[in-house]
Amino acid sequence: MELARVPVHNGLMTPDRTQSVPRRILLGVTGGIAAYKAAELVRCLREQGAEVQVVMTEAAQQFVTALTFQALSGRPVRTDLWDSSAEAAMGHIELARWAQLVLVAPASADFLARLAGGRADDLLATLVLATAAPVWVAPAMNRLMWANAATVANIATLTTRGIRVLGPASGEQACGEIGFGRMLEAQELADAVFATELEGPLRGMHVVISAGPTREPLDPVRFISNRSSGKMGYALAEAARDAGARVTLVSGPVALATPSGVARIDVETAAQMYQAVHATVGAADIYIGAAAVADYAPAACATQKIKKHGDIMDLSLHKAPDILASVAALSPRPFTVGFAAETCEIEKHAREKLIRKKLDLIAANEVGVERAFDRDENALLVLWSGGQRELALKSKSDLAREFVLLLAERYMLSRAQRVVEPLAS
């Protein structure tokens, strides 16, 4: 089959290099003249495709306004643990979970002391205690404050707790003195962020995901399609990327932005999706067929708009290629995962598909006008040979993260079995 020419979009300039770098950065700004450099830092981080949420301490707002950071980061700045409207939008625990890296720049002597003391007396200090993400600090202060035994002891405490200290550099200080205490330059800090590899259960793997609906043209203005929004497939792409994978998304027509760091190939028809998947899946470790692919397509596409005639019109449809089954039939093949949208007897139909299409894993969900399609929430029943697990109703992005953890677990087990089986035979 001749390969269709399909456009490729990259969320980042260099997707291979930056697949598992931190992408959601919580930037803490504390009180010091170097706060102005943090404004430049936001720009450097965003330039590389990162999302930046700025959290300022009260003292930081004496140096730079929250409005500056809001304009540069494109997000409202968080300053207060007790701001009920901000908390309603994203509570501080959610914010702590959202972050893939917490970077405090500049970190004042006072903030380092509060951190070393384990305090939770403002929003930023609380977030540092509540996050599972790596915490980095870029100190900035007068050279004598930096050299003071109290600061030295605090830095030692923070380092032993796994907090990474970047800088400070030596040079001329705002107070006119010369010595150690200058915050590293914005670009140096941004370079350090993007030189970091996140740990993740899919680290180093290539995952190909198909998402969204397909459109099967009847004539130049009409097509047959379905209600799929692509939200689940896109959430899976983000979750796989965050788990460390290099992700290629083969997407039907959807109204969703390309997740940063993900390579996207746009297609319309099932035949184009088949071609694009097979062009990329050869070297992939995992294929996830999350697209709602047409089962049947018009036998022919009329070259001119079909005219109205008579009361009944018959359409002749031909079977579309089954992409998922064709990937599962490859040898060698990637770990092959299907999605099953069912309107009844979910488990029975999904297990039948798991066996018939020779899949490693299938995730089934109930669909209907009020369920799953174009919704922000979903629930899944995940089945494999000899087991199953229910993933309860939650946002598609949380569900995708949970699903990717399960996928990584099943993938590792299947690869371990491949090694053991030849030894046993």
Q: Which of 95, 158, 209, 324 binds ligand C5P (CB under 6 A)?
A: 324
Q: Which residues, 6+ apart, have CB-to-CB distance to 349 below 8 Å?
A: 340, 342, 364
Q: Which of 320, 361, 383, 399 binds ligand C5P (CB under 6 A)?
A: 320
Kindly state the smallest distance separating residue 402's Cβ from ligand C5P, in Å.
Answer: 18
Question: Is 234 a residue that touches ligand C5P (CB under 6 A)?
Answer: no
CB atoms under 10 Å from CB of 1, counted, come to 8
Kindly state the smallest distance separating residue 32's Cβ from ligand C5P, in Å.
Answer: 53
| Residue closer to ligand C5P (CB basis): 189 or 271 | 271
| Residues pairing with 317 in the sheet | 298
| Residue closer to ligand C5P (CB basis): 167 or 321 | 321
Q: By CB neighbour count within 10 A (0-12 exposed, 13-18 middle, 19+ buried), where does 256 fall?
A: middle
Residue matched to tokens 């004496």: 62
Rounded CA separation 253/279 (Å): 19
- Interaction pattern, residues 129-168, with ligand C5P; x per rule: CB under 6 A: ----------------------------------------
DSSP string, 330-358: SSS--EEEEEEEESS-HHHHHHHHHHHTT
| Residue closer to ligand C5P (CB basis): 28 or 338 | 338
Rounded CA separation 139/134 (Å): 16
Near ligand C5P in 327-346, by CB under 6 A: 338-340
Q: Which of 40, 80, 110, 322 binds ligand C5P (CB under 6 A)?
A: 322
- Interaction pattern, residues 194-213, with ligand C5P; x per rule: CB under 6 A: ----------------x---
- Interaction pattern, residues 267-296, with ligand C5P; x per rule: CB under 6 A: ---x------------------x-x-x-x-
Question: Is 246 a residue that touches ligand C5P (CB under 6 A)?
Answer: no
CB 250 within 8 A of CB 211: yes
Q: How many residues bind ligand C5P (CB under 6 A)?
A: 15
In this chain, which stretch among 7-15, 186-194, 259-267, 321-329 interacts with ligand C5P, using CB under 6 A?
321-329
In this chain, which stretch among 37-45, 56-64, 319-327, 385-393 interacts with ligand C5P, using CB under 6 A?
319-327
Q: Which of 353, 396, 401, 410 binds ligand C5P (CB under 6 A)?
A: 353
Q: Which residues, 6+ apart, have CB-to-CB distance to 218 below 8 Å?
A: 224, 298, 301, 302, 306, 315
Structure tokens at 89: 């939008």
Q: Which residues are catalytic?
A: 175
Max CA distance (Å), the chain: 92
CB 236 within 8 A of CB 400: yes
| Residue closer to ligand C5P (CB basis): 204 or 282 | 282
Rounded CA separation 265/7 (Å): 6
Residue matched to tokens 């260099």: 14
Indicate the helix (H) or strand (E) that contains 383. strand 377-384
Rounded CA separation 37/105 (Å): 8
Residue ranges that bind ligand C5P, judged by CB under 6 A: 210, 270, 289, 291, 293, 295, 320-324, 338-340, 353
